[in-house]
Amino acid sequence: MDETTIVEDLTDSTWETRIERGELPSIVMFHSPTCPFCKQIEPYFRDFSGEYAGRILFARLDVSTNPWTVERYAVRQTPTFKFFCSGKPVQELVGAAFPALLKKNIDEFLKHGEGCARSSSEIDYEITGYA
């Protein structure tokens, strides 16, 4: 991967720091190693990371090894693209998508994401499904 196409790999343990408390708006691709649609869209996702470098954090999370985050954000299908602004989920795109649709969603997110985040609820970090 060259420095213009950086997609960060996240885990349950890095999620809060990088996404919920991160400074940049972010787009996370929830993927699975066995998902054919994930493999098809990933090169475009990486290209977009270079195009929007410095304005949006592009990241991936493997659903097969990070059950806590998958459960917390109710991810049921791969690929799922979730868009976060100020640590809040503000938009998502689920399932196989054309690259042009993903790019359109990224552009709309940049245009409207911050306003959407301001009008949504704060995250309660004490909520967990685990005892």
Domain ranges of the chain: 8-118
Crossing angle of helices 99-118 and 36-51, rounded to 10°: 60
- Which residues neighbour 88 within 8 Å (Cβ) at sequence distance 6 or greater? 117, 120, 121, 122, 123
Where is 47: in which H helix or E strand?
A: helix 36-51
Q: What is the spatial distance between Cα 77 and Cα 95, in angstroms, rounded to a whole number?
A: 6
For residue 92, name the pLDDT band (cuts at 50, 70, 90): very high
Q: Which two tokens stand for residue 79?
A: 């690929």
Q: How many CB atoms lie within 10 A of CB 5?
A: 16
Given a contact cutoff of 8 angstroms between Cβ atoms, the answer to whether 88 and 120 are in contact is: yes
pLDDT (tens digit per residue) in 8-56 = 999 999 999 999 998 889 999 999 999 999 999 999 999 999 999 988 9
CATH topology of domain 8-118: Glutaredoxin (3.40.30)
